[in-house]
Amino acid sequence: MAEQRVGKVREAILERGRREAPRRDTTRRKPKTAFVLSGGGNLGAMQVGMLRALVERDVIPDVVLGCSIGAMNGAAFAADPTPEGVSRLISEWDAASTGEVMPPSRLPPAVQMLRRGSSIHDSAALRRTVTGMLGANETFDDLKIPFQCNAVDVESSISTWFSQGELIGPILASAALPSIYPPVEIDGHTYIDGGVIENVPIGRAVELGCRTIYVLHLGPHGRPSHELRRPLDAALQAYWVARNSQFAKDLASLPDKVEAIVLPPGERPDIKRDDFSQTQALVERGYSNASKFLDEESVADRRRFASEVLRPIERLVLNARSIKWRQQASDAANAPHGAVITGSDSESAESSEPGGESSGVSEAALEESVGSSLTGVDSPTESDS
């Protein structure tokens, strides 16, 4: 009798599991393809155009990773990874184009910060925008595609990844650019913009086991003018240098046969960080650039063994022992025309320099570089929030 009861219970559990088909779980099965969405403020409208180009070509990821504005776009896409879902996201961006996300003020930024305490803007308008993008999706489990976003723990100075629990708090934390938006409190910890450490988190995609990484990078457009007129300009300049340097390191640290497809952001647009009036133009720009690039890349794949002249885009195979690898990675990280970067086996580089000599990059330095691309993404920093 006892065995029969156990059998019935077991069958009931199995039947429930069959009825409630679980979504894809990246913690148990390594994803093959990732979308990585970088930060970039109001230029995030270009990412929406890139997403449209990808879904039109039936490119759907196993996991979506986002930082800052990329976390907002990434979560919305993961909730509805269809052409219709992207169209709704475009509508949400249109609604934000009135400037509600960063309400204009006649007061100088320094005075605004003095009035608010820690930032120029509060997060109320940003919260409304995120809520509109997410719709009825309130938790990570509500999303159709696994999604993760990062934010920096102020006290420990490490990048924390959120993949469970409530959505809106981690997304607001990921977008809490210092001095622009206030820090976000989650479970007793204070978080700021994930882009402070990992603005383009391809290291996380590598850690999860992804072999193909589509990078929806907004380029070096966040770079302020070289003319520093105020303390905030200097702070933003330092922030830009740090985050783009990390992206270059991560590209150069790609493991063997891992491919990063960096969609082209195009040349820097003439737009201020708080200008949301050019949303439609930016969406179209992202769509047009990505469409052309993806179609050319498809042709390049079919001509893999043809003459280099016939290949319409540059394909870089970064060699970790080559003396040029750092510069190649930096060029790819800042290229307005996009790039396809494939990690290579370091042993193939022994004779890359004239005379077959090593470039002089030590194993220790190489390990340090690889390690830096995954800073703060070890399992102990994984948040259940």
pLDDT tens figures, 45-84: 999 999 999 999 999 999 999 999 999 999 999 999 999 9
The band of 282, judged by pLDDT with boundaries at 50, 70 and 90, is very high
* Residue type (1 letter), 106: R
Q: Which residues pair with 191 in a beta bridge?
A: 153, 184
Q: What one-character DSSP code corresponds to residue 192?
A: E
Say what the pLDDT of residue 72 is: 97
Report if pTM > 0.85: no
Are the C-beta atoms of 242 and 196 separated by less than 8 Å? yes
Residues in Cβ contact with 14 at an 8 Å cutoff, skipping those fewer than 6 apart: none
Rounded to 10 degrees, the C-alpha dihedral 225/194/244/286 comes to -80
User: How much of the chain, in percent, has pLDDT values that exceed 90?
Assistant: 42
Which residue ranges form the domains of the chain, and what is each CATH number? Answer: 32-348+357-383 (3.40.1090)
> Is a pLDDT exceeding 80 seen at residue 132?
yes
- Give pLDDT tens digits for 235-261: 666 666 666 678 888 888 899 889 999
Handedness of CA 89, 91, 97, 99 (dihedral sign): negative
Say what the pLDDT of residue 266 is: 84
Residues in Cβ contact with 203 at an 8 Å cutoff, skipping those fewer than 6 apart: 250, 253, 373, 374, 375, 377
Residues in Cβ contact with 362 at an 8 Å cutoff, skipping those fewer than 6 apart: none
How many angstroms separate the CA atoms of 273 and 248, rounded? 23
How many angstroms separate the CA atoms of 37 and 149, rounded? 10
Q: How many C-beta atoms surround the C-beta of residue 224 within 10 A?
A: 17
